[in-house]
Amino acid sequence: MKIRLLLIMTLMLGMAGMAAAQIPQAEQDAITKTITGYISKNAQSVKNAVHPEVCRMMSFSPPQMKADIVIRSGYSEIMAAALHPQRPAPILQNLDIHVFKENVAAATLVTDQFTEEILLAKIQGNWLILNLLQKNLRMPASGAQDTDTAAIEATARDYIEGAFSGNADRMERAIHFDMHKVVPRTQPGSDITMLQYSPYELMIKWTASGTANLPEEKWEIKYKLLHKLDNIAMAEVLSSQYYDYIQLSRVDGQWKIVNVLWVPNPSAPRRH
């Protein structure tokens, strides 16, 4: 068993290193350790890997419903599922660390049981998982097409361009009603980092208020699709004001943002 675990760890580290050549080795190792702990059957390792306020969205395409749906779960459900005595530990097949920037990271995990988009943040010196979007590989494919990549980008642009233009209709079109959007905030004068949330209703009101309005020439938006599998995807949306890492799921034929981890662009003056 120990030999098998060592072989898995060696394979995983090699894969992560190839996918994230620009990430410092120490950070690669720390992120990899967190994700490995998350899929282990060790209670302490799982606990050390996930933030107590973690949000996991699971994407399903039940044949009897003829629709794509997402189901939200949290820390207690993740712990219970991970430690279920009759559930075998997932076997790692691939790990890609796509992004390491401003103490946040984005990765894609592939096991024999599921593929998962993962967003992490470095909090009090430890990498913790904040957002997960899972596709169970034992469920039938949804029928999503490669052409959906254009729809995914359109959703991402509705989100960020809607914010900068004060267009609440575009924002509402982009985000899922159960969206989990979070930013780590370090308290002034301390090393304590708290999570600040922006739920669906607040995002609509915030956009409509024009709080984030900017002239279009100052948006400086850069979009990149990080990964897509069937009806789940993850993308990076950089702008003059924010670094947004978004997870999307196709719901009833439309791509919706279900999870967001963001941080302020360090070169932008703090506005809010």
* Beta-bridge partners for 193: 186
State the DSSP string of 107-152. Answer: EEEEESSEEEEEEEEEETTEEEEEEEEEEETTSPP----TTHHHHH
Please report the pLDDT score of residue 211 as a whole number: 93
Check for a shared fold between 2-136 and 148-264: yes
- Each residue's pLDDT, cut to its tens digit, for the chain (272 residues) gives 433 443 444 444 444 444 445 889 999 999 999 999 999 989 999 999 999 999 999 998 766 666 778 999 999 999 998 888 888 889 999 999 999 998 999 999 999 999 999 999 999 999 999 999 999 876 555 555 566 899 999 999 999 999 999 999 999 999 999 999 999 998 888 888 999 999 999 999 999 999 999 999 999 999 999 999 989 999 999 999 999 999 999 998 899 999 999 999 999 876 54
Please report the pLDDT score of residue 143 as a whole number: 55
Please report the pLDDT score of residue 6 as a whole number: 39
**Angle between helical axes of 200-209 and 148-165 (0-180°, round to 10):** 50
Please report the pLDDT score of residue 86 as a whole number: 86
Strands 254-264 and 69-73 turn out to be: unpaired
In CATH, the number for domain 2-136 is 3.10.450.50
Please report the pLDDT score of residue 271 as a whole number: 56
User: Whole-angstrom distance between the N-terminal and C-terminal Cα of the chain?
Assistant: 51
In CATH, the number for domain 148-264 is 3.10.450.50
Q: How far is C-alpha 170 from the geometric centre of its chain's CA atoms?
A: 21
Domain boundaries, the chain: 2-136, 148-264
